Amino acid sequence: MSTSQNQQIQILKAASSKINEVDFDNVTFGSVFTDHLFECDYIQGAWQTPTIKPYAPFLLDPSARVFHYGQAVFEGMKAYKDTNDSIWLFRPDENYKRFNKSAVRMAMPEVPETIFMEGLNELLKLDQAWIKKGLGNSLYIRPFMIATGSGVMASPSDNYKFMILLSPAKAYYSGEVKVLIAEHYSRAANGGIGAAKAAGNYAAQFYPTSLANQAGFQQVIWTDDATHTMLEEAGTMNVFFRINDTLFTAPTSERILDGITRKSLIEIAQKEGIAVSVRPVLVSELVAAAKDGSLKEIFGAGTAAVVNPIAGFSYQEVYYELPKTENSYASLLKEKLTNIQNKLAEDSFGWTVKV
Ligand X SMILES: *Cc1c(COP(=O)(O)O)cnc(C)c1O
Q: Which of 1, 2, 39, 138 is nearest to 79 (CA)?
A: 138
Which stretch in 8-16, 115-123, 131-139, 254-262 sits in contact with ligand X by CB under 6 A?
254-262
First to last CA, the chain: 24
Indicate the residue among 261 and 314 with the shorter CB distance to ligand X: 261
Which stretch in 5-13, 19-27, 260-268, 333-341 sits in contact with ligand X by CB under 6 A?
260-268
Which stretch in 40-48, 107-115, 234-242, 334-342 sits in contact with ligand X by CB under 6 A?
234-242
Q: Contact between 262 and ligand X (CB under 6 A)?
A: yes
Q: Which of 248, 261, 245, 259 is nearest to 328 (CA)?
A: 245
Indicate the residue among 237 and 250 with the shorter CB distance to ligand X: 237
Please give the Cα distance from 229 to 278 (Å, whole number). 16
E strand intervals along 251-305: 275-278, 281-282, 295-302
What contacts 44, CB < 8 A, 6 or more positions away? 158, 159
**CB of residue 76 vs ligand X: minimum separation in angstroms?**
5
**CB of residue 170 vs ligand X: minimum separation in angstroms?**
17
Indicate the residue among 64 and 77 with the shorter CB distance to ligand X: 77
Indicate the residue among 64 and 257 with the shorter CB distance to ligand X: 257
Q: Contact between 257 and ligand X (CB under 6 A)?
A: yes
Q: Contact between 233 and ligand X (CB under 6 A)?
A: yes
Q: Contact between 238 and ligand X (CB under 6 A)?
A: yes
Q: Contact between 260 and ligand X (CB under 6 A)?
A: yes
Q: How many CA atoms lie within 13 A of 350 on its CB side?
A: 1
Q: Per-residue string for binding with ligand X, 123-162, x by CB under 6 A?
A: ----------------------------------------
Q: Contact between 239 and ligand X (CB under 6 A)?
A: no
**CB of residue 53 vs ligand X: minimum separation in angstroms?**
27
Phi, psi of 176 (to 5 degrees): -75, 120
Q: Contact between 181 and ligand X (CB under 6 A)?
A: no
Q: Contact between 259 and ligand X (CB under 6 A)?
A: yes
Cβ atoms of 328 and 319 within 8 Å: the answer is no
**CB of residue 197 vs ligand X: minimum separation in angstroms?**
5
- CA 174 and chain centroid, separation: 16
Indicate the residue among 258 and 347 with the shorter CB distance to ligand X: 258
* Residue of 65, 78, 81, 197 interacting with ligand X (CB under 6 A): 197
Cβ atoms of 124 and 139 within 8 Å: the answer is yes
Element at 10 (helix H, strand E):
strand 10-11
The DSSP annotation for 134-162 comes to STT-EEEEEEEEEE-----SSS--S-EEE
Q: Contact between 122 and ligand X (CB under 6 A)?
A: no
Q: Contact between 269 and ligand X (CB under 6 A)?
A: no
Please give the Cα distance from 242 to 249 (Å, whole number). 9
**What amino acid is encoded at 113 in this protein?**
E
* Residue of 35, 39, 76, 99 interacting with ligand X (CB under 6 A): 76
Burial class (CB in 10 A: 0-12, 13-18, 19+), 293: exposed
Binding site for ligand X (CB under 6 A): 76, 197, 233, 236-238, 257, 259-262, 302-303
